[in-house]
Structure 1
Amino acid sequence: MAKFTEQEKVNAVKRYLNGIEGHKAIAKSIGVAHGVFHRWIQQYQYNGENAFKKRYTTYSLDDKLKVLTYMNEHGTSLSETAAIFKIQSPSTINRWKRLFDTQGVDGLIPREKGRSSMKKENPKVSEIKEPVTGSIEALQAENERLRMELAYGKKVECLSSEQRKITKQDKAKVVYELRQEFPVKSLLKLAGIPRSTYYHLTKQLERPDKDAELKTAIKDIFHEHKGRYGYRRIRAELANRGLHVNHKKVYRLMRELGLKCLVRIKKYRSYKGEAGKVAENVLNRNFKASKPNEKWVTDITEFKLFGEKLYLSPMLDLYNGEILTYTIGSRPTYSLVSSMLNKALRKMRKEDTLLIHSDQGWHYQMKKYRLALKKKDITQSMSRKGNCYDNAVIENFFGILKSEFLFYQDFKNVEHFKEELRKYIHYYNHKRIKTKLKGKSPVQYRTLAQQVA
């Protein structure tokens, strides 16, 4: 990897902070690993432009203990801790941590550089040093105290998170687990909880878990849907199985179990200026539809796989969020959209009065597309320029698709990806429940509504 000057690092970080480019894209453009670039960003956030000034220093025992103590008390990662203390590499802190875990404080004492002296030790000096046992005992006590603090910090970090404060129950649980290794009195002092409170809470810990069956059901649903469900959908699925639980309790139990839904990322943009005629925003963010085939929304998103780009063009019914049809191709051509539109229009009935909403992508501005809608007496609607919220439902679907499917599974090749995409769309339509559809999947909701009508 090429060396970078202080100013080059500052310029790269400022490009990221401007919000125009992602950190991976910038890292790739300057030829640096994105993990290293992410560390530059952290260093800049904590120390500004001074973060990249070279430091030639050695670290004393106090310096090392200060760093390790801070990391355990605040739960910061190796990378973040290195950025805070302007340490060049996180591996340095990791090495200190390993030495402390295996050798205690002695492992952190700086060693003299160079070859050790071959001279015989003066017996008088050794005799003078040997009786000074008080300092050794104090060092051993300090070593034991720090070892206890590190062990306590690790346990607390496993039980806590950024969104939740450490409770007395958490602290009591940690003390209970470490009671065989360290004195309870010292642990309680470190945890800051009274002795009576600790024994009261430990009695509760020894009782059978009344939520054991519910936790098992939550884990089964979470893993059945491969981590795609958050607490709202899991609560709805529990209700479908006859277990009626408050959503706050499901949320709390999921946090205790360490179950967290997946995240979402950005999408491909097809806007290239005015390539034809732009329609009015007739939909105007009114995403509710009273019946099927009343309001449809569409857009295009991009996938990057095996060094290739693939483009997906779906059509979604706002009535129940169902994906009516889709096409996928290696180029975002007009045929990708027109083919999808033709397949979707086959689902229209003569009595349907339909509106189709999209962004201002060049495909939807073309005369052929507009005439195809006009021929079927379909109202065309478009988002305002650069406003993703005007087409939020299809944007939301793309976010779900990428987090639950694209970045969650491994694919052998493009054909395997397409086959798995077909399976996921079927799963999304027929099995994946939505809270706003009363805990039903899109197809279940539509079918039930038709039966009632």
Structure 2
Amino acid sequence: MAKYSFKFKLKIVHEYLAGKGGTPYLAKKYGFKSNSQIRKWINIYKEFGEEGLLRSRKNKSYSVQFKADAIELYLTTEMSFQEVANQLEINNFSMIANWLRNYRENGLEGLSKPKGRPLKMPKKKIDEKIEQTKNSDIERIKELEKQLRMVQIENAYLKELRRLRLKERHKKMKLVRESSIVSEKKFRLKDILETLRFPRSTYMYWQKRFSRKNPTEEIEQIMKEIRKQHKDYGYRRMNQELRKRGCIVNKKKVQRLMQKLALQVRSFTRKSRKYSSYRGTIGRIAKNLLNRHFCTSVVHQKITTDTTEFKYYEKDSSNVLQIKKLYLDPFMDLYNSEIISYRISKRPNAETIMEALGEAIERTKDCPFRRTFHSDQGWAYQMKAYSHTLKEKQIYQGMSRKGNCLDNSPMENFFGILKQELYHGRVYKSYNELKQAIEKYIYYYNHSRMKEKLGWKSPIEFRKEKEIFV
């Protein structure tokens, strides 16, 4: 082996660290057959500095205890022969491999053998047949030990997979349980990777990747805070809320993070039943003045209304749960989809509808044009008191066609959103509980729930912004 001066080694190491080329390029430049020698100098320099390159090449003799300590360090850690040699300041790392081989074949006695060829040949030759039998037995034992170790690693691997699956399942179900210990026996990383046929480089790559800091941790924390305030925000509304808070993120990234954090909205599902209330034309009806022209640029010009039903459970005097009903009568301004008035009652009646109508008329009296109040053909909107009140205030009355909910789709859309986000999948056990939940949601809907068609603003935010410009 050629001898290289300290200056020559240091020059190559400095060129590598200065980024003038990789180890293959430097090996070719200075006439090395392979880059292993250069990599060895670089590792020694990183570990010990310039002193490592000055280490003497003179042969040293090592005690049995020193050899045993080196073997123990290799077997009890994941360090390579080179890393152990660097730590113990051994010139040639292949010596550790020879010590390990002698130790496995002959135990501690193999470490005490003198270096070099024996001075005299043994007087008696060992019988070749006995030697071959002994060698074959040793190889057979080693092979069986290897197979046993592989089976143990496979069992431990499968148990670990099962434990991780159960842990993930319990985490999703919000359960906390103690997991059983996979295996008390520890295996060397080399044996595990060999058994699983997993490349060492891939293992080291993912080990470094898992240990690095999560680059989206801050955004994820903000998304969790938003979810606590807006439990039914999908990735589009979540993206707009993040932008309001100063986090400019692509919507696809928001969608991916919501899937990672399990923040997808589960409220909106399709119904399996269909309902039709068509019974033909009944009573006195008004013309369909809106004719599905729901858009308007004037506040309080077009108002729509309808009635919807909710169910709740309540115990009677016999302590038996009874299904009871609650009715909501809201009035919506089609300018910004704001609920301008509403009433809640235990049964459908004219009194609550007229109270909600009176409040809606009072709140919309600032409209500079003649107003239009739209509804379906329900009995409440065909009452003389209802139609006469509208005539007295010089308000147009319009009605949807019979059995056609699309003619009043804005209000039907509001009912769908209200029930999906508040009602479906929940059980309310009293009238007051359900009433308070509806009142709280309507306030949230008007003041905080953003809409895409309103420029990602809530109805009241949209109206106030327009009033400022006007």
Aligned counterparts of 1:296 and 1:152: Cα–Cα separation in 2: 56
Q: Is the 8 A contact 2:371 2:396 kept in 1?
A: yes
Q: Say which of 316, 340, 343 aligns to 1:324.
A: 340
1:40 alignment partner in structure 2: none
Identity of aligned residues (%): 41
Summarize the Cα distance change of 1:187–1:340 in structure 2 as closer, same or farther, 3 Å threshold: farther
* Secondary structure class of the residue paired with 1:404: helix
**Amino acid paired to 2:222:** A
1:231 alignment partner in structure 2: 235
Summarize the Cα distance change of 1:156–1:223 in structure 2 as closer, same or farther, 3 Å threshold: closer
Q: How many residues end up aligned between the 2 structures?
A: 294
Q: What are the residue-to-residue correspondences of 1:413-424 with 2, within 5 Å?
A: 413-424=430-441
Summarize the Cα distance change of 1:183–1:358 in structure 2 as closer, same or farther, 3 Å threshold: farther
2:7 alignment partner in structure 1: none
1:336 alignment partner in structure 2: 352
Q: What are the residue-to-residue correspondences of 1:360-375 with 2, within 5 Å?
A: 360-375=377-392
Summarize the Cα distance change of 1:262–1:345 in structure 2 as closer, same or farther, 3 Å threshold: farther
**Amino acid paired to 2:293:** N
**Amino acid paired to 1:218:** M
Aligned counterparts of 1:184 and 1:372: Cα–Cα separation in 2: 83
1:109 alignment partner in structure 2: none
Q: Report the CA distance between 1:330 and its aligned residue.
A: 1.4
Instruction: Give yes or no for the alignment of 1:353 onto 2:370.
Output: yes
Summarize the Cα distance change of 1:253–1:217 in structure 2 as closer, same or farther, 3 Å threshold: same
**Amino acid paired to 1:426:** Y
Q: Deviations over 1:269-288 (max 9, x none)?
A: 89473332334433333332
Q: Deviations over 1:31-56 (max 9, x none)?
A: xxxxxxxxxxxxxxxxxxxxxxxxxx
- Taking structure 1 as the reference length, the TM-score comes to 0.55
Q: Is the 8 A contact 2:350 2:380 kept in 1?
A: yes
Summarize the Cα distance change of 1:196–1:313 in structure 2 as closer, same or farther, 3 Å threshold: farther
Q: Say which of 299, 312, 332 aligns to 2:328.
A: 312
**Amino acid paired to 1:299:** D
Q: Is the 8 A contact 2:331 2:356 kept in 1?
A: yes
Q: Is the 8 A contact 2:376 2:401 kept in 1?
A: yes
Q: Report the CA distance between 1:235 and its aligned residue.
A: 1.6
Aligned counterparts of 1:300 and 1:185: Cα–Cα separation in 2: 70
Instruction: Give yes or no for the alignment of 1:263 onto 2:267.
Output: yes
Q: What are the residue-to-residue correspondences of 1:125-164 with 2, within 5 Å?
A: 150=162
Aligned counterparts of 1:234 and 1:367: Cα–Cα separation in 2: 47
1:402 alignment partner in structure 2: 419
**Amino acid paired to 1:211:** T
Q: Say which of 214, 219, 225 aligns to 2:219.
A: 214
Aligned counterparts of 1:412 and 1:255: Cα–Cα separation in 2: 33
Q: Is the 8 A contact 1:327 1:339 kept in 2?
A: yes
1:446 alignment partner in structure 2: 463
Point out where structure 2 has 5 or more consecutive residues left out of the alignment.
1-143, 173-187, 314-322
Aligned counterparts of 2:276 and 2:328: Cα–Cα separation in 1: 12
Aligned counterparts of 1:158 and 1:434: Cα–Cα separation in 2: 36
Instruction: Give yes or no for the alignment of 1:244 onto 2:248.
Output: yes
Aligned counterparts of 1:156 and 1:415: Cα–Cα separation in 2: 39
Q: What are the residue-to-residue correspondences of 1:96-111 with 2, within 5 Å?
A: none
1:205 alignment partner in structure 2: 210
Q: Which protein shows a greater Rg? A: 2
Summarize the Cα distance change of 1:422–1:157 in structure 2 as closer, same or farther, 3 Å threshold: closer
Q: Say which of 287, 290, 294 aligns to 2:294.
A: 287
**Amino acid paired to 2:390:** L
**Amino acid paired to 2:404:** N
Q: Is the 8 A contact 1:323 1:429 kept in 2?
A: yes
Aligned counterparts of 2:426 and 2:388: Cα–Cα separation in 1: 40
1:431 alignment partner in structure 2: 448
